Amino acid sequence: MAERTHYKDLGLVNTREMFARAVKGGYAVPAYNFNNMEQLQAIITACVETQSPVILQVSSGARKYANQTLLKYLGQGAVEMMKAMAAEKGLREIPIALHLDHGDTFELAQSCVDTGFSSVMIDGSHHPYEENVRLTKQVVEYAHRFDVTVEGELGVLAGIEDDVSAEKSHYTKPEEVEDFVSKTGVDSLAISIGTSHGANKFKPEQCTRNKDGIFIPPPLRFDILREIEKRIPGFPIVLHGSSSVPVEAVRMINENGGALKDSVGIPEEQIREATQSAVCKVNIDSDGRLWMTAAIRKHFREKPADFDPRKYLGPARQALIDMYKHKNENVLGSAGKA
Ligand code: G3H
Ligand code: 13P
Ligand code: ZN
């Protein structure tokens, strides 16, 4: 068998303590997806500078893209970079978790546990309920042997991603959550209350428009969230699909040769409201993709002769740093909670 790596040896932490503090403190820990070095550098920089705990999130597609062997060293490198940066700036070190996002098989979750991840999601939400329970419990039993925390999911999000797709949203049924949590032993639960993946979270016909013609989506189902919280008080809840799809980023993309149509996200005020409850982990990927693309497109239009990747990836990385700092400080409330 290949050599096993435990996350503690990489300087990472699991999510247990992070979530307990977040639920108590009425804020959410950011879970930012990354696929490459610039995204990782931006996340660490922003979270050290705002003194926020952070969950580095890797989808199965991202793991293949970045290379699963290299990823372990990226996780360790992120911790080392954080320590050096904190020392240099006279700031506290921040807790960092490395998390598998939307794991779909026991084998994938097991492989992540064995290669240094400190937290895994097993997403059995598209399976029938009993199969979701069986698969999630199997992952929990394995992961807990190594003190790796596990996120399960009940309810299906709408939206289409490369490896994550669900045609329709099925809100989480509050009457299932107690049974699911107690039968599986999960450490946190992702729920479906109207968010979805990607940059087109709602169809135009589901939205109204404000005076500037900007789409206003229907509100999240806070009634379902409250009902869930009543049944499992204080239990860590996770919100996927929480990008706000900023109109400025979409405009910048389209003004510089892009062709995004009918983009709409979740207004940040609603995410902020959710974090004041037991929602203690908020997943954001698309907003990073959008700002990165916007900055690169702008750079290419303004400086078409540039061909050194540092010239266009540098401003893209800075745009990400600014966005993550904004999320930590103004949306998730995680700034200063490291
Ligand atoms: O929830 C899905 C994340 O945005 C990851 O997407 O599978 O395209 O890497 P991906
Ligand atoms: P967004 O597409 O809204 O960024 O959601 C990301 C996500 O849920 C990753 O699991
Ligand atoms: Zn997700």
- Residue-by-residue DSSP string for 111-156: HHHHBT-SEEEE--TTS-HHHHHHHHHHHHHHHHTTT-EEEEEESB
Ligand 1 midpoint to CA 36 (Å)? 13
Architecture of the domain made up of 7-331: Alpha-Beta Barrel (3.20)
CA 98/CA 75 separation, integer angstroms: 7
Task: Give the number of the ligand closest to the Cα of residue 58.
Answer: 1
Q: What is the pLDDT along the chain (338 residues), one digit of tens a residue?
A: 678 999 999 999 999 999 999 999 999 999 999 999 999 999 999 999 999 999 999 999 999 999 999 999 999 999 999 999 999 999 999 999 999 999 999 999 999 999 999 999 999 999 999 999 999 999 999 999 999 999 999 999 876 444 555 556 699 999 999 999 999 999 999 999 999 999 999 999 999 999 999 999 999 999 999 999 999 999 999 999 999 999 999 999 999 999 999 999 999 999 999 999 999 999 999 999 999 999 999 999 999 999 999 999 999 999 999 999 999 999 999 999 99
- Residue 281's Cβ-count burial label (10 Å; 0-12, 13-18, 19+) is buried
Instruction: State the pLDDT at residue 159.
Output: 60
The residue to mutate among 240, 264, 320, having the most atoms of ligand 2 within 8 angstroms of its beta carbon, is 240
Task: Give the number of the ligand closest to the Cα of residue 285.
Answer: 2
Instruction: State the pLDDT at residue 3.
Output: 85
Task: Give the number of the ligand closest to the Cα of residue 125.
Answer: 3
125 C-beta closer than 6 A to ligand 2 = no
Ligand 2 atom index nearest CA of 157: 8
Instruction: State the pLDDT at residue 194.
Output: 95
The residue to mutate among 29, 33, 163, having the most atoms of ligand 2 within 8 angstroms of its beta carbon, is 33
DSSP secondary structure code for residue 219 in this structure: P
Ligand 2 midpoint to CA 282 (Å)? 9
Backbone angles phi, psi at 257, to 5 degrees: 100, 0
99 C-beta closer than 6 A to ligand 1 = no
Q: 3-class SS at 315?
A: helix
111 C-beta closer than 6 A to ligand 2 = no
Q: Is residue 101 annotated as a catalytic residue, yes or no?
A: yes
Angle at which helices 286-302 and 37-49 cross, to 10°: 110
